[in-house]
Amino acid sequence: MPPLVYAAEYDDAEQIRLLMRRVIAASIDPSLQRGIIANVEANLTAWLNRSVECVHLVAVSDRSIVGVVLVKNFWNLCSLFVEQAEQGRGVGRALVEAAALACVSRSPRNELLLNAYPSAVGFYERLGFTPRKSPQQPPGGIQAMGRAL
């Protein structure tokens, strides 16, 4: 049964934080983890302080949050995390598609932009994202990508 996707609530923040930390610990080079954790937690704090400027969705299965996506300013997809055990089951796709739908009428850019880690580029390409030029060169093989809404 596919997970339910709905808007994140403030009470979900700690579960979201723990989910992100678990996925980072399991999938990111340890030398990069501290910086990534700081970045995603800053994005979580930004959502808590300015939720009206974001789309923040969670995927829930068996009453547990198994995935999360955050889109700041309705165009900057900055956090997508799915529990390791749920990866490959459509959770990430469901979250991105629901976020895109929620941003379509509110995005000033009419597109979603993101920076993908090398291991996630194929996933985003399957969702219709393509490489793009970035005003800043992302570090460590990170690929700037975009998709029209």
CA distance 24 to 26: 5
CA distance 60 to 69: 12
In the 8-state DSSP scheme, what is residue 12? G
Residue 17 is which amino acid? R
pLDDT of residue 138: 65
Pairing of strands 54-61, 130-131: unpaired
What's the CATH number of domain 4-107, 3.40.50.1100, 3.20.20.60, 3.40.630.30, 3.40.50.720?
3.40.630.30
pLDDT tens for each residue of 86-141: 999 999 999 999 999 999 999 999 999 999 988 899 999 999 999 998 777 666 77
Confidence (pTM):
0.92
Residue pair 93/100 in contact by the 8 Å Cβ criterion: no
Please report which residue ranges of the chain form alpha helices under DSSP H: 13-27, 30-49, 91-103, 121-126
